[in-house]
């Protein structure tokens, strides 16, 4: 899914005062290989890849997330 855009809206209403906040968001998804190039080009040398918020390894075919820690 290289360079695919996904747009969505969210709405939150606070029970304490009834204030409602609505916003629209657009995310761009890029392939892990492209993300790796961008991180290298930006000067990141220590890059860790995770496939989920539990810290499991990133697997291109099966990971539900791409989580990158770069320094």
Q: Which sequence spans correspond to the domains of the chain? A: 4-70
Residue 4 has pLDDT above 90, yes or no: no
Write the pLDDT tens digit of every residue in 36-60: 999 999 999 999 999 999 999 999 9
3: nearest Cα among 33, 30, 35, 37 = 30
CA dist., res. 35 & res. 39, Å (int): 6
Write the pLDDT tens digit of every residue in 6-24: 999 999 999 999 999 999 9
Residue 29 has pLDDT above 90, yes or no: no
pLDDT at position 48, please?
97
Structure tokens at 1: 């899914």
In the block, residue with structure tokens 């609505």: 22
47: nearest Cα among 24, 70, 63 = 70
3-state secondary structure of 1: coil
Helices then strands, each counted (H, E), the chain: 1, 4
């Amino acid at each position: 899914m290289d360079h695919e855009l996904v747009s969505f809206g969210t709405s939150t209403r606070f029970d304490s005062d009834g204030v409602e906040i609505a916003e629209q968001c657009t995310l761009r998804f890029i392939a892990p290989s492209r993300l790796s190039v961008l991180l290298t080009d930006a000067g990141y040398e220590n890059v860790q890849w995770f496939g989920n918020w539990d810290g499991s390894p990133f697997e291109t075919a099966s990971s539900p997330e791409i989580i990158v820690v770069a320094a």
